[in-house]
Amino acid sequence: MKNVSFSLPKGCIMGLVGENGAGKSTTIKLLLNLIRRDGGEVKILGKDNLNHEKEIKEDIGVVFDESNFPDNMNAADISLVMNNIYRNWDQKLFDGYLRRFSLPPQKKVKDYSRGMKMKLSIAAALSHHPKFLILDEPTSGLDPMVREEILDIFLEFIQDEEHSILISSHIISDLEKIADYITFIHKGKILFSEAKDQLLEDYGILKCSHTELDQLDKGLIMGYRKNQFGVEALVKRKKLKGKFLIDSAGIEDIMLFYSRGVGK
């Protein structure tokens, strides 16, 4: 990890993206003190995550890509355990999520589907009134209907503008629906951390000839790929002078071209 730095405002959702092994899970582990940092600082809700670890963890909800609840427990058992962990555990709220998600409280976790396990994890994460959610691939492997339901829950969570979400995901279409900011980590470095709408507004895919590419200001080109018919390049379209064919760039396009870099 090198010079990883980003900040997430209240009331916002940030998508943390990058290829496998880029450093997303390591970043989340650093936030949660599952691994200790060698230097720098991490502040969550304005507090240092080492000096105020216990009080911070009262105010954050965490969901990993796999259920960490024992298979032989049911939702009622989990509620009893969580009540002994969190000061603000809210049994009524938890029961409400179980009903909303159609999760039978007496059914064993081992008998839940993947989607049901994820909903149970989200219900548990939300039921102690956290201010900040940290989510690691929460919609991975879920069908579109379940994913849409879960994304709606996340959007509800931030409506009061006091809550925030950091969500790591490979499903870029989900992030394009709900994220306010995108942070792209590549080989342990942050390549960008910017407002999603600004990224989509600033960048476009230029289609041109090899000769035209050579004549462009290299400072406006974030990455390109060549083929036998010509070139596709990620460019800062507002700063590009002249008449060019420029298509819209999605977040996935921006990631791919950024990671390629100029000259690759």
Averaged pLDDT, 208-227: 86
In this model, does residue 36 exceed pLDDT 90? no
pLDDT for the residue numbered 172: 93
In this model, does residue 219 exceed pLDDT 90? no
In this model, does residue 8 exceed pLDDT 50? yes
pLDDT for the residue numbered 38: 77
pLDDT for the residue numbered 40: 81
In this model, does residue 187 exceed pLDDT 80? yes
Nearest alpha carbon to residue 224 among 241, 209, 242, 239: 209
What are the tens digits of pLDDT across the range 55-65? 999 999 999 98
pLDDT for the residue numbered 3: 66
Nearest alpha carbon to residue 261 among 199, 202, 187: 187
- Residue 48: helix, strand or coil by DSSP? strand
pTM of the predicted protein model: 0.89
State whether CATH 2.40.50.140 applies to domain 13-195: no
What are the tens digits of pLDDT across the range 59-82? 999 999 888 899 999 999 999 999
pLDDT for the residue numbered 17: 94
What are the residues whose beta carbons fall under 8 Å from the beta carbon of 158, sequence distance 6 or more? 11, 12, 13, 164, 165
C-alpha 100 chain-centroid distance: 24
Mean pLDDT of the chain: 90
For the chain, the domains span 13-195, 199-260
For residue 78, give Cα distances in angstroms to 18, 94, 96, 167, 260: 33, 10, 15, 24, 45
pLDDT for the residue numbered 251: 94
Sheet holding 60-63, edge to edge: 60-63, 132-136, 164-168, 13-17, 181-186, 189-195
CB atoms near residue 140 (< 10 Å) = 16
Averaged pLDDT, 105-122: 93
pLDDT for the residue numbered 214: 85
In this model, does residue 125 exceed pLDDT 90? yes
pLDDT for the residue numbered 1: 57
Q: Are strands 43-44 and 47-48 parallel, antiparallel or unpaired?
A: antiparallel
pLDDT for the residue numbered 220: 87
Averaged pLDDT, 105-133: 94
CB atoms near residue 203 (< 10 Å) = 23
